[in-house]
Amino acid sequence: MTQKGHLAFLLPLASCAGAQTPLAPAGDQAAGQYSLLLLMLWVCGILYMLVLGFLAMGLWRLRRGAPAGNEPTLETPSDAVLGKTLWIWAAIIVVGLLLLAGASFLLERRLAAAEAREALLVRVSGHQWWWRIAYRDPRNGSWIETANELHLPVGTTARIELGSADVIHSFWVPNVAGKMDVIPGRANAIDVTPRRIGWFRGQCAEFCGLQHAKMAFDVKVETPAQFAGWLALQARPAPAPEDAAALRGMEIVTRGACAMCHSVRGTSARGRPGPDLTHVASRRMIAAGTLAMNRGNLQGWIAQPQALKPGTLMLPVTLEPRDANAVAQYLGQLK
The neighbour count for residue 79, using CB atoms within 10 Å, is: 10
The partner in contact with residue 216, picked from ligand CUA, ligand HEA, ligand HEC, none with C-beta cut-offs of 5 to 8 angstroms by kind, is: none
Q: Give the Cα separation of 2 and 65 in Å (integer).
A: 46
CB of 286 to ligand CUA, least distance (A): 17
Q: Give the Cα separation of 206 and 182 in Å (integer).
A: 9
Q: Output 155 or 316, the one with its CB closest to ligand HEC.
A: 316
If binding means CB under 6 A, how many residues of this protein chain bind ligand HEA? 6
Q: Is 325 helix (H, G, I), strand (E, B) or coil?
A: helix
96 binds ligand HEA (CB under 6 A): yes
165 binds another protein (CB under 8 A): no
The neighbour count for residue 248, using CB atoms within 10 Å, is: 18
Kind and range of the H or E run holding 251: helix 244-255
The partner in contact with residue 55, picked from ligand CUA, ligand HEA, another protein, none with C-beta cut-offs of 5 to 8 angstroms by kind, is: another protein
DSSP secondary structure, 100-169, as one string: HHHHHHHHHHHHHHGGGGEEEEEEEEEETTEEEEEEE-TTT--EEEEESEEEEETT-EEEEEEEESSS-E
Strand locations in the chain (E)? 118-127, 130-136, 143-147, 149-153, 157-164, 169-173, 177-182, 188-192, 198-203, 216-222, 285-286, 291-292
52 binds ligand HEA (CB under 6 A): no
Segment interacting with ligand HEC, rule: CB under 6 A, options 106-114, 188-196, 218-226, 308-316 = 308-316
What part of residues 266-325 is at the interface with another protein (CB under 8 A)? 289, 310-311
Per-residue x/- marks for another protein, 9-28, CB under 8 A?
A: ----x--xxx-xxxx-----
78 binds another protein (CB under 8 A): yes
Per-residue x/- marks for ligand CUA, 104-143, CB under 6 A?
A: ----------------------x--x--------------
201 binds ligand HEC (CB under 6 A): no
What part of residues 188-227 is at the interface with ligand CUA (CB under 6 A)? 204, 206-208, 212, 215
